[in-house]
């Protein structure tokens, strides 16, 4: 079974159609990761040779999920890919809570290190927080067909501005307790916001600023999408990498930290 059929069989977690997308220039996002298998199929961002950042909804199963690096067209093997087992999964808690803040962030450790080359490279963590109006790129394999939830074969890219917190809070008042660990992006009245690929990677000025939490998708494309505000997670990310520093025991773990 090729990778596209496998991902279709699993279903792209939380996926809904892209709108005014464009196909990314092949391998222009060498940090983009496709997590698939074990009931998971979504995106993540490679931050060093061992670690991937993704959303809570994409939390994979150790040694049941594969991280595919160097991907662009998931229907073919181009010789650029590296397919590596997931060894450990560290979830930032809490995701569900009656009080803010809540979080939607997962770190994934690879069973063996990624080999860096022109097709596989890490993305730097944010050294500052993105500001309202700043232009950012979001990339993922979300579907391009309305009401059709299979992934697209090519990695897609969308450019969207950061939306201020108050506008975002006004958009989703019934769905959640607002958390300062959220950041929104989207262009009002634009189908650019249709990308709803959980774990989609948001990069601003060459730095990792978000992984997608949720969005209305094309059902209401005027609404922004919500991402984890990664500039506020640097200390947690570094503490996870220090605590679970390879080489580790080979027993897989799934932990909330």
**Cross-strand partners of 139:** 157, 201
Q: Which of 116, 115, 137, 146 is nearest to 217 (CA)?
A: 146
7 lies in the same domain as 115: yes
Mark residue 236 as left, alpha or beta (left: phi above 0; alpha: psi -120 to 50; beta: remaining).
alpha
8 lies in the same domain as 81: yes
In contact, 192 and 126? CB cutoff 8 Å: no
Owning domain of residue 173: 135-231
Report strand pairing: 106-110 vs 82-91. antiparallel
Which residues contact residue 236 at a Cβ distance below 8 angstroms, ignoring those fewer than 6 apart? Answer: 92, 105, 257
Q: Tell me whether residue 21 is in a domain.
A: no
Q: Tell me whether residue 185 is in a domain.
A: yes
Angle at 23 between CA 202 and CA 110, to 5 degrees: 50
181 lies in the same domain as 245: no
Would you mind telling me the total number of residues written for the chain in this entry?
Answer: 257
Distance of CA 211 to the CA centre of its chain: 4
Q: What is the domain count for the chain?
A: 2
* pLDDT given for residue 150 in this prediction: 63
Q: Tell me whether residue 160 is in a domain.
A: yes
240 lies in the same domain as 117: yes
Q: Which residues of the chain have pLDDT under 70?
A: 1-21, 94-101, 143-151, 173-177, 187-197, 215-223, 248-257
Distance of CA 186 to the CA centre of its chain: 16
- Name the maximum alpha-carbon separation found in the chain: 50
CATH number at residue 73: 2.40.10.10
56 lies in the same domain as 180: no
204 lies in the same domain as 245: no
97 lies in the same domain as 164: no
* pLDDT given for residue 81 in this prediction: 97
Find where tokens 């997670």 sit. 233
Calpha distance 97→93 (Å, rounded): 9
Q: Tell me whether residue 247 is in a domain.
A: yes
Mark residue 16 as left, alpha or beta (left: phi above 0; alpha: psi -120 to 50; beta: remaining).
beta
111 lies in the same domain as 143: no
Q: Tell me whether residue 127 is in a domain.
A: no
Q: Which two tokens stand for residue 148?
A: 């059709």
């Amino acid at each position: 079974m090729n990778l596209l059929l496998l991902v279709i069989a699993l279903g792209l977690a939380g996926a809904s159609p892209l709108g005014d997308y464009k196909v990314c220039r092949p391998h222009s996002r060498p940090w983009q990761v496709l997590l698939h298998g074990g009931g998971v199929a979504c995106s993540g961002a490679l931050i060093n040779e061992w670690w991937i950042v993704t959303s809570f909804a994409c939390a994979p199963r150790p040694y049941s999920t594969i991280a595919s690096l160097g991907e662009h067209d998931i229907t073919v093997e181009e010789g650029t890919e590296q397919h590596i087992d997931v060894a450990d999964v560290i979830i930032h808690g809490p995701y569900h809570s009656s009080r803010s803040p809540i979080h939607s962030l997962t770190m994934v450790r690879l069973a063996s290190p990624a080999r860096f080359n022109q097709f596989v490279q890490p993305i730097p963590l944010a050294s500052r927080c993105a500001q309202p109006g700043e232009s950012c790129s979001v990339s993922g394999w979300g579907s391009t067909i309305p009401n059709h939830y299979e992934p697209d074969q090519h990695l897609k890219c969308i450019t969207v501005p950061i939306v201020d917190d108050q506008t975002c809070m006004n958009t989703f008042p019934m769905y959640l307790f607002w958390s300062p660990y959220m950041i929104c992006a989207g262009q009002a009245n634009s189908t650019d916001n249709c990308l709803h690929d959980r774990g989609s990677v948001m990069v601003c000025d060459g730095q990792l600023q978000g992984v997608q939490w949720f969005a209305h998708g094309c059902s209401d494309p005027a609404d922004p999408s919500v991402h984890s505000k990664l500039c506020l997670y640097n200390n947690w990310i570094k503490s996870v990498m220090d605590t679970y520093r390879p080489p580790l025991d080979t027993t897989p773990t799934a932990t909330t930290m």
